[in-house]
Chain A
Amino acid sequence: MASLTPTEPAVTTEEHAFEPRPYANPYLAGIGLGLVLLSAFVFMGRGLGASGAFNSTIAWLLSLVAPGYAASNEFLARYLDVPGHPLKAWLVFEVLGVFAGAVLSGVLAKRMSRTVEKGPRASVTLRLGFAFLGGFLMAFGAALGRGCTSGQALTGGAILNAGSWIFMMCFFGGAYGAAWFVRRQWR
């Protein structure tokens, strides 16, 4: 379990070539992200996303186990009722790209690390339990909110989608409101 300790904040000098490089300037990263989003609008006429790829994957997996049920499930049917394989979906390929891009950037910046990100006072067990619980809750949030942080807040935010701005405000409101209760995990 020795490897499961949080990494120290990135501090690097020329002498420490194997230490992770510091993260990018937030405004530069934001401009880069914005240009990627803009290219999605220009090339595809749609924005970025993530949760949709999970929906396609679950729809496909369930169609292997219980094809009749999956096809009759209103939430999943639209992800199965596509020409070709359910995984030949735009967001599935985009998320595969996200994985590849993250590895590429992480390797080049020496930030690949088998670790658990958590506050100094939180145990690994608590952190992993909360990671699962948070993911579970957010799946319901994304399904009800018709998109996640990428598909609603980022994408809809840029094209001035009214629902996306409501979603974004509530997202930050919910996070700030709940932060105090889970501070032991992070602080």
Chain B
Amino acid sequence: MNAPLYKFGAFGDETSLVVAFVIGIGFGWFLERAGFGNARKLMAQFYLTDMAVFKVMFTAVVTAMLGVTYLAWAGWLDLSLVYYVPTFWVTAIVGGLLMGVGFVIGGYCPGTSVVSMATGRLDGLVYVGGFTAGTLGFALGYPAFRDLLAMGDLGVLTLPEVTGVSWGIVAFAVVLMAVGGFAGATWVERWMTAKADPAARAD
């Protein structure tokens, strides 16, 4: 197998749009299954009563990471042909913080807002309107952000390159971190549940 299939010419641009739609269906399906079309479920993460955001996200990251690691190791997937967003550390910090603050205000991120809207939530629809307006606002104000956008340019950069240890060791560390995080998250959920309702401690 020579993957990425598209990069090796297994199918063309028209077919890639069909692939996009099918992959999108899978994406939307699992986001909805996880409960991520519901802002209350998403926001419970930040009030520590339900850590599903962390659990789902890190399980997905670990699953895909292990898959990529295995396929690349076996020689089936050429990682050099997989697109990496270049690292701009300054905008990663500014953008990440802004996204985080916006998340607890808006209740969704762009992807989950589509799921929310699709399943009938009015707040999801309004969020999509806000995101659209914000995108227009950013485009109109782009000259003011041009300098900021160029700050902290480190090019394409991976964690193994930053840390100087091998991909496999970083991947293993991510798995350990995730497993530790899952245990911690479950402990916090139980503690918060018990705090909110001492009677529930009995079971």
Contact = CB atoms under 8 A, between A and B. Distances in A.
Interface string A148-161: 11111110111111
Contacts of B115: 98-99, 102
B20 A117 contact: no
Interface string A39-63: 1111111111111001101110010
A116 B99 contact: no
A175 B27 contact: no
B100 A174 contact: yes
A74 B146 contact: yes
Given A23-B35, A144-B149, A162 B91 contact: no
Dominant secondary structure of chain A at its interface with chain B: helix
A74 B170 contact: no
A30 interface: yes
Contact of A164 (B85, B132, B145, B167): B85
B87 to A, nearest CB: 3
Interface string B49-64: 0001011111111111
Interface of A: 4, 6, 23-24, 26-27, 29-51, 54-55, 57-59, 62, 73-76, 83, 88, 90-106, 109, 111-119, 127-128, 130-154, 156-179, 182-183, 185-187
Lowest 8 A-B CB distances belong to which pairs?
A134-B106, A97-B24, A145-B95, A174-B100, A30-B59, A34-B63, A139-B134, A135-B130
